[in-house]
Every structure is written in C-alpha cells, then in structure tokens.
C-alpha cells in the first residue's frame, strides 16, 4: 500500500485527505492519504522518512521549507521557490509546484486573458505571477506593503497609494483578506475603480463568498472562487505520486464529487 499525507500548521481543516482518498477509492488504487500537523519546519524531511511516505502535499506555512529539502525540482518549483508536492522516487525527493498549473487550468473558462492584476504579494501571488508569465500574460502586482517587492522582478509592483487605474482582463485576490474576516484586499473605493476597468475576477479563497467576490458580483463581473484551483492542484499532485501514469480526467471527476460532498 502507498502512503501519502499533507503537512501543515494548522492542518485539521485541510480537505486534501477527503479529495485524495475519494479519488484513490474511485480509481481502485491501493493507498491511504492522511494529515500531519507539523510543529517544526526542521522536522519535515525526518517526519516524511519516519512515516515511510511515498508522497506528500505541503501547505501553509511550510512550502518554502519543503522546497529546500528536494533533490530535484520541476520548472514551476524552481522559479517560484516553493513546492506543494513532494514525491519519493528511488530514495530521492522530487518537488513540484502544482498551485501554478492548477491556477492556469482554473482560469481557462474565462477565455483568452492578456493582462492581469494580482492583489497581494505572498507565496501564492508569486506562483500565480510566474504561471501567467509562462503564458505571456502581463501580470502587475498591487500590495499593501513593499517588503516582498524583490520576489516580482518580471512584474510591475505597485503600492495602494501609487497605483494608477489601468484596464485589466483579470483581477485576482491572492491575499488572505476575506478568509477569516470581512476585509477587502485593497481599500473598497480602489477595488471599485479596479472592477470598473476589469472583465473577470478570481479569488484564491474557496468555499466562501468573500467581500471581493461580492463586490465583483455587484459590478456584474463574471467571477469564481479558488475551489477549481484547489481541485486541479490536487489532481496534478496525485498523478505525480503515480509517476504521471493516472488518468487526470478520472481523478478530476472523483475530486469534484468529493469536494461537493
Ligand atoms: P502569504 O501569507 O504568503 O501572503 C499573504 C498576502 O496577502 C501578502 O501579500 C499580505 O500582504 C496580503 N494580506 C494579508 N492580509 C491582508 C489584508 N487584510 N489586506 C490586504 N492584504 C493582505 O499567503 P499565501 O500567499 O500563502 O496565501 C494566500 C491565500 O491563498 C490564502 O487565503 C490561502 O488559503 C489561499 N490559497 C489558495 C489555494 C487554492 O488552491 N485555492 C492554494 C494556495 C493558497 P503583506 O505582503 O503586506 O504582508
């Protein structure tokens, strides 16, 4: 039996075990996926090996620590500097970032996108900016503080006060504003001006009608939350656990069923 897990802190609310175990069952695989609360980032590799895992997902706040323990990295991981998927092959550790391609798949339904504004500058913003860059989509960053500006060498980086409204095809909330509170990712008046000049909106937060999404709706801007991104990153991760030998469409169908249970 193969063994997988998700590492994070906090971890009890993670729905990854539900998605993966449901897909494992539907695809008739011999495996089990659990969740591990990690207190200390130094213990990540040790825990992975002690538990004799074949693969793992990594979530907040360990994605950058996990990047450092890998022997091999995929193209996305290498550029972004963080991973969410760890796979053991012949006693070496392979690291993948499936958030970036998961996001690209999630926005496909908006059609051709040429420009995007990313609100926020954290780890997720970095993954999204690189994902858009690989598709030749211009991605500007708008954040409340300047401290992470150096992570975005290929993008224009604006602070709230120096931002001049432009036309964007897609506006993305990649901050955690709205996750456990009712905050907007940028001041409401500024977000209203942004939406007046935008075609689509995407929130990385899932299963919540955030203030960002409610405002997009009030401007009648087609929008979606981060549920599909979550599913697609998990689909790609499970396939990496099996050396890319699984049918991704079947995993997607199973995981979409699991998320709506
Ligand atoms: P980080 O902590 O790395 O970054 C958070 C960013 O949000 C920072 O730029 C921070 O600004 C900004 N921010 C936080 N709170 C506020 C606020 N109240 N107002 C304005 N800006 C704020 O987080 P991550 O990038 O790792 O995660 C961001 C979100 O993405 C989380 O909600 C997470 O759940 C979600 N996520 C969803 C995924 C999916 O599959 N759907 C996958 C991965 C993440 P500053 O730089 O000034 O501190």
Binned average pLDDT, 10 residues per bin, the chain of 261 residues: 96 95 98 95 91 96 94 96 96 97 98 98 94 97 96 94 97 95 97 98 95 98 97 98 98 96 85
Q: What is the value of pTM for the model shown?
A: 0.95
Which among 63, 105, 126, 224 is annotated as catalytic? Answer: 63
> Which run of H or of E encompasses 44?
helix 44-50
Nearest CA to ligand 1 atom 37: 204
d(CA 108, CA 131): 13
Farthest CA pair distance, the chain = 56
pLDDT of residue 40: 86
Domain 101-225 has CATH 3.20.20.70: no
Ligand 1 atom closest to the Cα of residue 206 is 41
pLDDT of residue 235: 98
63 is catalytic: yes
d(CA 221, CA 217): 6
Q: Which of 197, 196, 214 is nearest to 205 (CA)?
A: 214
The answer to whether 16 is annotated as binding is yes
CB of 149 within 6 A of ligand 1: the answer is no
The answer to whether 218 is annotated as binding is no
Ranges of each domain in the chain: 2-97+228-259, 101-225
pLDDT of residue 187: 98
CB of 185 within 6 A of ligand 1: the answer is yes
Beta strands 168-173 and 115-119 are parallel
Mutation choice for ligand 1 from 82, 85, 120, CB with most ligand atoms inside 8 A = 120
Choosing among 1.20.58.1030, 3.40.50.10860, 3.90.850.10, 2.40.30.170, the CATH entry for 2-97+228-259 is 3.40.50.10860
pLDDT of residue 251: 98
Distances (CA, A) of 231 to 1, 55, 164, 205: 24, 17, 35, 13
The answer to whether 91 is annotated as binding is no
CA of residue 172 relative to chain centroid, distance? 12
């Amino acid at each position: 039996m193969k063994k997988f897990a998700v590492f994070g802190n906090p971890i009890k609310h993670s729905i990854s075990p539900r998605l993966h175990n449901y897909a494992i069952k539907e695809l008739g695989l011999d495996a089990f996926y659990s969740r591990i609360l990690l207190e200390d980032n130094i213990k990540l590799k040790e825990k992975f090996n002690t538990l004799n895992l074949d693969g793992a997902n990594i979530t907040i706040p360990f994605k950058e620590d996990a990047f450092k323990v890998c022997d091999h990295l995929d193209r996305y991981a290498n550029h972004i500097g963080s991973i969410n998927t760890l796979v053991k092959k012949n006693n070496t550790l392979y690291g993948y970032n499936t958030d970036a391609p998961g996001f690209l798949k999630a926005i496909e339904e908006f059609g051709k996108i040429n420009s995007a504004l990313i609100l926020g500058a954290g780890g997720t913003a970095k993954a999204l900016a690189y994902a858009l860059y690989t598709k030749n989509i211009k991605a500007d960053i708008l954040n409340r503080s300047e401290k992470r500006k150096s992570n975005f060498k290929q993008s224009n980086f604006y602070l709230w006060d120096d931002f001049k409204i432009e036309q964007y095809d897609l506006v993305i909330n990649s901050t955690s504003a709205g996750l456990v509170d009712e905050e907007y990712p940028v001041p409401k008046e500024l977000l209203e001006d942004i939406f007046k000049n935008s075609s689509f909106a995407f929130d990385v937060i899932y299963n919540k009608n955030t203030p960002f999404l409610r405002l997009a709706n009030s401007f009648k801007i087609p929008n979606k939350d981060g549920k599909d991104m979550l599913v697609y990153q998990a689909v790609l991760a499970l396939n990496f656990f099996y050396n890319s030998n699984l049918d991704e469409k079947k995993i997607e169908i199973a995981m979409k069923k699991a998320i709506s249970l």
